[in-house]
């Protein structure tokens, strides 16, 4: 009896995608079926979709972090104004018992200018909401598309290549190498949703921080009403 051994030449397929390189082998023994071609095309399109998701999550996380930095600058300004009010209060110049006419005119002007700074900070705090609203609009859209309902690319329910694996003997693609590539892609998808969670953290931190800024500004505005006589006297 003669033993026959059959060797098969494989062709390497590489697609240099911006998300990750797609690499697998084909048997190169004929023309792939329409079913196989469509499945592989859908696999590549899944990479396209994942890439745009990655770009959007990174961009919005970056936007949230940048707005947090800008908000920190506003917080620092408010904190400085609070410290200045404490200092002025400590001088006794803001005492209700002290007649306005007895307050040094230079100090009156200084207090009036200080009050204008508080007014400007108050306006900036209100205007900052426009920036928060833009981030909130993006956040709501991302939640609806990628979180609240079924995930568009769920690494636990990814079935694009199922037909190829089910009918492996009839496929031109080498299922072993394609399976290895799929495992790597699913790992990238998992990292993608980790990135989504990091974005959520950055957004919620920004939203909570703005709430504190509004509260601190409201407290300062209320406390600064003691300065209104200086404002009214020189307006």
Residue 150 lies in a domain: yes
Say if 70 falls within a structural domain: yes
- Print burial letters for 198-221: b (CB count within 10 Å at least 16), e (below 16): ebbebbeebbebbeebeebbeebb
Residue 1 included in any domain:
no
Q: What angle do CA 138, 143, 146 make, to 5 degrees?
A: 115
Residue 20 belongs to a domain: no
**Whole-structure pTM value:** 0.86
* Chain CA centroid to CA 157, Å: 25
CA 111 to CA 227: how far, in whole Å? 7
Tens-digit pLDDT string for the chain (235 aa)? 434 333 467 889 999 999 999 999 998 776 788 999 999 999 999 999 999 999 999 999 999 999 999 999 999 999 999 999 988 887 766 666 555 556 677 877 888 889 899 999 999 999 999 999 999 999 999 999 998 888 889 999 999 999 999 999 889 999 999 999 999 999 999 999 999 999 999 999 999 999 999 999 999 999 988 877 666 654 4
- Number of compact structural domains in the chain: 1
- Other beta carbons within 10 angstroms of residue 107's beta carbon come to 13
The burial class, CB within 10 Å (0-12 / 13-18 / 19+), for 152 is exposed
Please state, in angstroms and rounded to a whole number, the distance separating the CA atoms of residues 138 and 233. Answer: 46
Q: Is residue 173 classed as helix, strand or coil in its secondary structure?
A: strand
Residue span of the structural domain in which 209 resides: 30-233
Q: Are 109 and 234 in contact (CB under 8 A)?
A: yes
Nearest CA to 217 out of 67, 69, 71 is that of 71
3-state secondary structure of 150: coil
Helix, strand or coil, per DSSP, at residue 14: strand
Which residues have CB under 8 Å from 113's CB, separation 6+? none
Q: Is residue 22 in some structural domain?
A: no
């Amino acid at each position: 009896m003669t033993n026959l051994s059959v060797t098969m030449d494989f062709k390497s397929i590489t697609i240099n995608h911006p998300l990750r390189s797609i690499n697998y082998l084909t048997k190169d023994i004929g023309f792939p079926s329409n079913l196989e071609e469509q499945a592989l095309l859908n696999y590549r399109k899944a990479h396209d979709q994942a890439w745009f998701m990655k770009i959007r999550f990174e961009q919005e996380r970056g936007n949230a972090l940048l707005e947090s930095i800008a908000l920190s600058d506003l917080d620092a300004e408010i904190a400085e104004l609070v410290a200045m009010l404490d200092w002025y209060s400590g001088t006794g110049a803001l005492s209700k018992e002290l007649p306005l006419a007895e307050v040094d005119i230079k100090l009156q002007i200084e207090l009036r200018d200080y009050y204008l700074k508080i007014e400007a900070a108050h306006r900036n705090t209100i205007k900052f909401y426009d920036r928060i609203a833009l981030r909130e609009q993006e956040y709501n859209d991302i939640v609806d598309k990628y979180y609240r309902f079924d995930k568009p690319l769920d690494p636990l329910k990814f079935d694009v290549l199922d037909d190829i694996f089910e009918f492996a003997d009839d496929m031109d693609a080498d299922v072993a190498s394609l399976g290895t590539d799929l495992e790597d892609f699913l790992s990238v998808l998992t990292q993608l949703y980790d990135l989504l969670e990091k974005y959520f953290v950055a957004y919620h931190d920004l939203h909570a921080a703005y709430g504190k800024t509004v509260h601190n500004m409201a407290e300062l505005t209320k406390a600064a009403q003691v300065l209104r006589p200086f404002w009214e006297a020189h307006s």
